[in-house]
Amino acid sequence: MVTEMKFDGASAVVTGAGNGIGRSIALELGRLGTRVLIADLDGDAAAGAAEEISAAGGTARSRKLDVTDYAAVESLADEAFSEFGRVDILHNNAGVTWRPFRAVWNATLADFRWMTEVNYFGVVNGVMAFLPRMREQEGRKQILNTSSMATTSLTPGHGLYTAAKHAVDGLSDTLREELIDHGDDFGVTVLYPGQITTGIGERSRDIRKLETGEDLSQGIAYVQVRDAKWAHNEPKTAENVGKQVVEAIVHNDPYCLTHPAPIEYLEARNQLWVQGYRGY
């Protein structure tokens, strides 16, 4: 049984919170009186978000963080528990993408490893560093992991990213059921952003270039053959994502979507699953 989350006086850690979606979430939590530790690969951006919360009368700290470095994530957990005494909300949000989209056959093994290390193992590192100590706490806890609407629809040209995000879905759904089985007062929510205008494509390009010298923008662009007019491809700003996430925490929703779900596609896909069993 999951009890009510009391945001005022709670403590939260949000990764990838220097910009865009993560920043919106951190700011909304700070507005509600939650103490927030903001982590981002861009330390200056993280500090700016923390300063904004502090200027509004909230409590926030910032930390430069590479989520692919488990020792660094574990150190972040040590800092959070030392500073706040507990962590009630953990949002594993940091991620990367690529522009332009490209076919799987035009990707390299290095591309696969990079997408997976950040988008999936960044989540794994957060879960492993924080979960054991959070489980020992009394009261309500919540883990949120950022996936993508890409896992709910057709995404030609975005296979590496989508594969890593599917892994986030599988981990999150299984963890939720395990915590339910063991009677933990602990919710697990998956955030599915659609087209949120955050500049993640440009930041991802800059990160990759800094790390390896490779320029993602020079890849062979995927040529879209079929029309992809999904509702979640309609651009939105990140402004309201924080409010949506807070509502999901309040209601312990397993899923939080920033755009309408592609119901027709999901129903058709489920029907194909049913038809896939031939009875042998």
CB within 8 A of 128, min separation 6: which ones? Answer: 70
The SS3 assignment for 136 reads helix
Q: Helix or strand or coil: residue 7?
A: coil
Query: In DSSP terms, which residues pair with 145 in a beta bridge?
Result: 92, 190
d(CA 210, CA 139) in angstroms, rounded, equals 42
In three state form, how does the secondary structure of 159-211 look? HHHHHHHHHHHHHHHHHHHHHHHCCCCEEEEEEECCCECCCHHHHHHHHHHHH
Active-site choice (70, 161, 222, 277): 161
End-to-end alpha carbon distance in the chain: 40
Active site residue 161: yes
Catalytic sites, residue numbers: 161
